[in-house]
Amino acid sequence: MSVINKKYNFLKPFKNSNLIRLGRNHDGGYIVDNSIVQKCNTLVTFGLGPDWSFELDIIKNNKDIKIYMYDFSVSSSPYIRDILKYLRRFITFRTSYKAVSDRIKYLKNYLDFFKIKNVSFFKEKITFPLKDKIDVDVDKVFSRIPESEKVILKSDIEGSEYDVIDQIVSYSNRIEMLIFEFHWIDKKEDTFLESVKKLQKNFDIIHIHGNNHFEKLSTGLPVIIEMTLLNKNNNKNSNQEHVTSFPIKGLDYSNNPFKEDLVFSFSSD
């Protein structure tokens, strides 16, 4: 097992007995504290992409939760183009009818998701500072949520997470749990480490996983990291034990199912 450099030991997650996986077993699934899912009123999602299995699962676990989704790049166009492509292949006897019907089903699932009463979708780009009309910052996001709501925030915005860390920290008293995908640590290692240390003033890390679409640094740290953090107010009774070896069987699965998951461990202090 690859042992990462001990300078990263502050990233060791606290042991948590409430962890479950929501979303599918590969890209799109995340590890959360189920007790927090049950108590929260609101999920804020930065970045949707082609998979919303996490959001569907969170509704199954808490039917009353409200979801505010932000993604400026999402549209039905790729699904329609895919249907037309496979329809042409079917007409020229290069694919099956099932392949076409599957693409139609994908479009239907996409459209049905946005019809769910729990879901509010904003075709806006999360960033800071604001530059374009399509841009929105964390201040605007939280202005749309009643102050009494208990919030879970999930962020997967391809590197823009570093631009909004300070704003997210400023709303720590309203956020019960954070789910991050931190990108491009090979190019932004100092920014990543600084961002996590800022978050740790108010949050404890309870899970970490390496995204195997990319490799690890020479120090052993994955280039892309999925991380779950719990507000310290929800972790007061922690026994202070840490988990040191990853991935965790039964919780973690490789993002790319055709490659081995990234295996790593933290060194002993």
**Could you report the per-residue pLDDT of 148-199, keeping only the tens digit for each?**
999 999 999 888 899 999 999 999 999 999 999 999 999 999 999 999 999 9
Return mean pLDDT, the chain.
92
**Could you report the per-residue pLDDT of 125-146, keeping only the tens digit for each?**
999 999 999 999 999 999 999 9
pLDDT top residue among 201 and 3: 201
Mean pLDDT of 95-120: 87
Residue 90 lies in a domain: no
> Is the pLDDT score of 1 beyond 60?
no
pLDDT at 269: 66
Domain that holds residue 201: 2-74+123-266
Residue 6 lies in a domain: yes
Q: 216: domain CATH number?
A: 3.40.50
Residue 41 lies in a domain: yes
Strands 42-46 and 225-231: unpaired
- Six-digit token string for 59: 């509704």
- Give me the number of domains the chain comprises: 1
Say how far apart CA 16 and CA 205 lie, in whole Å: 10
Of 9, 6, 3, 10, nearest to 197 by C-alpha is: 10
Say how far apart CA 65 and CA 85 lie, in whole Å: 37
Residue 224 lies in a domain: yes
Residue 85 lies in a domain: no
Under the banding of pLDDT at 50, 70 and 90, the label for residue 26 is confident
Instruction: For residue 100, give the H/E element and its range.
Output: helix 97-113
The structure's pTM equals: 0.91
**Could you report the per-residue pLDDT of 60-103, keeping only the tens digit for each?**
999 999 999 999 888 788 788 888 998 999 899 899 989 889 88
Residue 28 lies in a domain: yes
